[in-house]
Amino acid sequence: MTPKDLKSQIIYGIISGFVYAGFIAIVDYYRDKEFDLKKFIIGFVLFGIGMIIVARIKNKKEK
C-alpha cells in the first residue's frame, strides 16, 4: 500500500506524521494532560521528516 513515486511518498509521510501527532495528542488528552500545540507540531514535523528520509533512501536503493 506504500506509494511508488517520491512525491507521493513524501505526502504519505506528512499525512502519517499528522496521524501520529494526533494519536499522541489523544493519548495525552485521556491521561488528563492539556493539549500541547508545541509537542503536536514537533511530533508532526519529526515524523514527517523521518518518513521523507526513509522514502529517499528507499528510492535510492530501488535505482
Q: Is residue 10 part of a domain?
A: yes
Mean pLDDT within 42-54: 78
Taking a C-beta distance cutoff of 8 angstroms, is the pair 28, 36 a contact?
yes
Q: 32 vs 4, which has greater pLDDT?
A: 32
Measure the CA–CA gap between 35 and 46, rounded to whole angstroms: 18
Mean pLDDT within 1-20: 72
The pLDDT score that the predictor gives to residue 4 is 67
Give the chain's mean pLDDT: 76
Mean pLDDT within 48-54: 78
Q: Assess whether pLDDT exceeds 70 at residue 1.
A: no
Q: Is residue 26 part of a domain?
A: yes
Question: What pLDDT digit, counting tens, does each position of 25-41 carry?
Answer: 788 778 877 777 787 77
Neighbours of 20 (CB within 10 A): 17
* Number of domains comprising the chain: 1
Q: Is residue 1 part of a domain?
A: no
